């Protein structure tokens, strides 16, 4: 019987970005995917984007699909959400092992302003129109510009009040693999290593020749590491 594995997308992303990874893993796992609200065409929530909101949606998805005890792979923001859900549901057996890649942990006002500064819809339309069109299609029929604006607001709030504080990582009891690419220009190797050292049952993994965007990460490399960790 195959183990269940849930794949979580990152900020500005959707579950469709994980289709190729799903195909590589489907012979070993029963794969589940979900879109966070406002992403991939899902309706916008009544409240602002936040890690807590997406964490609650993750918990709801697991419970509604009777997937208690599921393993979770989270790309970028998805990894942060998975750890948040694990922390806030400790002892319930809701989530088993967690594998994160390209997840930013070092949130402060300086880093959040830098990240948020790259989310101006007008600048993206002007300077990288192909990416703007990609976002438009990815989030249709919702307004992709609203996705960016809500994500910018979330990042600025994270800078003022990180939803996972340093002391929180020490309380996470799940077995965790924290990974980052050696060519990631958004997430540093050091912040990733530091976080892995704070979580009692975590290990660090450096992915060679790997940048940040999920589309540029080797599916063979990533799927291989996922299979090893969740075996």
DSSP string, 121-144: HHHHHHH-HHHHHHHHHHHTTS-H
Q: Bridge-partner residues for 100, per DSSP? A: 74, 178
**Confidence (pLDDT) at 213:** 96
**Confidence (pLDDT) at 56:** 98
* Entry pTM: 0.97
How many angstroms separate the Cα of 160 from the Cα of each of 57, 67, 168, 200? Answer: 23, 34, 16, 26
Q: Running along the chain, 231 residues long, what does each successive block of 10 average in pLDDT?
A: 96 98 98 98 97 98 97 98 97 96 95 91 95 97 97 96 95 98 97 97 98 97 98 91
β-pairing, 95-101 vs 3-8, is unpaired
**Confidence (pLDDT) at 183:** 98
**Confidence (pLDDT) at 211:** 98
**Confidence (pLDDT) at 133:** 97
Q: Bridge-partner residues for 29, per DSSP? A: 3
Q: Which residue has the tokens 């922390």?
A: 87
**Confidence (pLDDT) at 47:** 97
**Cα–Cα nearest to 187, from 74, 85, 97, 38:** 74
The Cα–Cα gap between 5 and 220 comes to 17
**Confidence (pLDDT) at 70:** 98
**Confidence (pLDDT) at 1:** 85
């Amino acid at each position: 019987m195959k183990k269940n594995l849930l794949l979580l997308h990152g900020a500005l992303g959707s579950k469709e970005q994980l289709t190729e990874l799903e195909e590589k893993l489907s012979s070993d796992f029963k794969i589940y995917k979900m879109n966070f609200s406002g992403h991939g065409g899902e309706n916008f929530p009544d409240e602002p984007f936040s890690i807590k909101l997406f964490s609650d949606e993750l918990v709801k998805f697991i419970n509604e699909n009777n997937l208690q005890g599921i393993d979770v792979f989270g790309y970028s923001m998805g990894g942060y959400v998975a750890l948040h859900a694990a922390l806030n549901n400790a002892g319930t057996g809701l989530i088993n092992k967690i594998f994160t890649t390209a997840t930013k942990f070092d949130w402060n006002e300086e880093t959040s302003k830098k990240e948020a500064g790259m989310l101006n819809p007008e600048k993206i339309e002007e300077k990288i129109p192909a990416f703007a069109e990609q976002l438009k299609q990815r989030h249709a029929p919702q307004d992709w510009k609203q996705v960016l604006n809500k994500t910018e607001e979330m990042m600025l709030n994270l800078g003022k009040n990180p939803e996972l504080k340093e002391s929180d990582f020490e309380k996470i009891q799940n077995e965790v693999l924290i990974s980052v690419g050696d060519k990631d220009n958004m997430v540093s190797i050091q912040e990733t290593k530091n976080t892995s050292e704070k979580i009692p049952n975590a290990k660090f993994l450096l992915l060679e020749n790997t940048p940040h965007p999920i589309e540029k990460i080797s599916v063979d490399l990533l799927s291989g590491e996922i299979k090893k960790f969740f075996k």
